[in-house]
Amino acid sequence: MQKILFATSEVYPLIKTGGLADVAASLPRALLKLGQDVKILLPAYASVLEKAKNVGIKEIAQLEIEGYSVSLRQTRLPGTKVIVLLVDIPEFFEREGNPYCGPDGNDWFDNHKRFYVFARVAELIALDQVGLNWQPTIVHCNDWQTGLIPALLSLHPNHPASVFTIHNLAYRGLFSYQAFAELNLPAVFWHHERLEFYGQMSFIKGGLAFADFITTVSPSYSKEIQRPEFGNGLDGLIRYRSDAVAGILNGIDTDEWNPGTDPHLTCNYNRRTLGNKTKNKLALQEELGLTVSSDIPLLGFVGRLVDQKGVDLILEQMNQLLTLDCQLVILGSGFPHYEKALKNIAEQYPQKVAVTLGYNETFAHRIEASSDIFLMPSIFEPCGLNQLYSLRYGTLPVVHAVGGLRDTVFEQTLESESGEANGFVFHGATAGELLAAIQRAISLFKQKDRWKQLQLNAMSKDFSWDASAKEYLAIYEQIVSA
């Protein structure tokens, strides 16, 4: 049995800005199910303390680190048996806004210090120096916020093995040399083979250079990031470490995302009662002021409104899209210029386009269930969870062939008449390619029998964690015994 300290900056339902939170909740649960001893380590943001109150929080240690008083608290992930250790440093984490930036959208000025001290706490727990009488065999780190942990562990002769998972290489955790100088890190870390990155400090390099093993969240992305096009300047380092790099496809929480039991839906359905899916669509159309009709294909989009998600491709082909017999429902938040452009279109075409800005879990579930077609034209996509939720809800995705999208969505071609087809795939991130794929989807939507077959293909696929959690476990066992 492995003892796993799973360090993350977000975990659903305590705090979430994106897919990392979903994975940080569902992978530890799957590991627990495999008989492993896993504890999540999370910053105690104000909202986390508020939400964990109902489950119960107790203080388990008090630490003094670099002049900061740290209270280590323990709770459980709501609705599960997974233990969550909370790093409570009020001056760092109890703030309005999101984990990484303030209400004005700017990164917190002291992010380097916040996640450095968080890493120091992880280091002490990993070395069993906080009095928990529990030493992990594996420290599993996620994204740049935890990148310093493998680097700090490397300074100790007998440290637990570490895995670093890249959820998104575009966020490299970059800070100035001045910021590096403010942290109590050894001067030797300022080197291009360690934390230094073209004159700046990169937190993610700590994970990439020092972890015993690097994983990323889909097989295709693990190859893509070894090429300059997707490597964000780090492809050389990842190629150098390629013997210790693997792509493991994310699973999903099949209880949380189950159209048969989802409490957010107007009407639950499954493969045998697929006809009931339409009731969700009609209710949503009515509520949003769209023309109410089951025959008009409804296209859905849920996600962060940032460049990665291909929002500009959607905007670029909007005029042509508006000439087609279809509707568009969008939920998201992000860059103000995208928010504004989408809102303008919705105001001009209220019966065809509905845009909701902000973050809304219930609405995200309802869009997944109500739409016929789900748009994910991402420029790059390490894994992507929304296309997996869509597939499970019989909502066929239109995706750009990158990363996890390429690994999970397959279009039927003349050559491949297999039962694998479950969506629409375009190659080349252009608005024209996206529009052509949408047109293929809309024309197939009219062929009811073929459409239903694709829906059944999509809904039959197993996206649970069962297989992927075992792959992580195999890596843990390999590096612990190395």
Q: Which residues are annotated as a binding site for ADP-alpha-D-glucose?
A: 16
Which of 401, 351, 356 has the alpha carbon at shortest distance from 380? 401
327 makes contact, choosing from ligand ADP, ligand GLC, none, with CB < 5 to 8 Å by partner type, with none
> Count residues contacting ligand ADP (CB under 6 A)?
17
User: Smaller CB distance to ligand ADP: residue 116 or 144?
Assistant: 144
Q: Kindly state the smallest distance separating residue 304's Cβ from ligand ADP, in Å.
A: 5
303 binds ligand GLC, rule: CB under 6 A: no
Paired tokens of 330: 């969008």
Whether 395 and 371 have beta carbons less than 8 Å apart is answered as yes
Determine which residue in the list 3, 13, 18, 307 makes contact with ligand GLC, applying CB under 6 A. 18
Whether 445 and 297 have beta carbons less than 8 Å apart is answered as yes
310 binds ligand GLC, rule: CB under 6 A: no
- Using the Cα atoms of residue 451, residue 453, residue 457 and residue 459 in order, give the sign of their dihedral: positive
Sheet with 83-88, edge to edge strand ranges: 58-65, 68-76, 83-88, 37-43, 3-7, 138-142, 161-166, 213-216, 245-247
Measured from the Cβ of residue 268, the count of other Cβ atoms closer than 10 Å reads 18
Q: Which residue has the tokens 């964690």?
A: 465
From the number of C-beta atoms within 10 Å of its C-beta (0-12, 13-18, 19+), residue 56 rates as: exposed
The beta-strand segments (E) located in 335-456 are 353-357, 373-376, 396-400, 424-426
**Among 16-24, 56-64, 239-247, 434-442, which window interacts with ligand GLC (CB under 6 A)?**
16-24
Which of 458, 446, 202 has the alpha carbon at shortest distance from 326? 446
Determine which residue in the list 386, 408, 422, 468 makes contact with ligand ADP, applying CB under 6 A. 386
364 binds ligand ADP, rule: CB under 6 A: yes
304 binds ligand ADP, rule: CB under 6 A: yes
2 makes contact, choosing from ligand ADP, ligand GLC, none, with CB < 5 to 8 Å by partner type, with none
What residues from 374 to 433 belong to the interface with ligand GLC (CB under 6 A)?
A: 381-385, 404
275: which residues sit within 8 A by CB, 6+ positions away?
Answer: 269
User: Smaller CB distance to ligand ADP: residue 19 or 207?
Assistant: 19
385 binds ligand ADP, rule: CB under 6 A: yes
Determine which residue in the list 11, 19, 40, 311 makes contact with ligand ADP, applying CB under 6 A. 19
466 makes contact, choosing from ligand ADP, ligand GLC, none, with CB < 5 to 8 Å by partner type, with none
**Among 128-136, 381-389, 410-418, 428-436, which window interacts with ligand ADP (CB under 6 A)?**
381-389
Whether 465 and 26 have beta carbons less than 8 Å apart is answered as yes
355 binds ligand ADP, rule: CB under 6 A: no
What residues from 146 to 175 belong to the interface with ligand GLC (CB under 6 A)?
A: 167-168
CA 52 to chain centre: 22
Determine which residue in the list 9, 11, 15, 22 makes contact with ligand ADP, applying CB under 6 A. 22
343 binds ligand ADP, rule: CB under 6 A: no
Whether 161 and 136 have beta carbons less than 8 Å apart is answered as no
Q: Which residues bind ligand GLC (CB under 6 A)?
A: 18-20, 23, 167-168, 217, 250, 381-385, 404
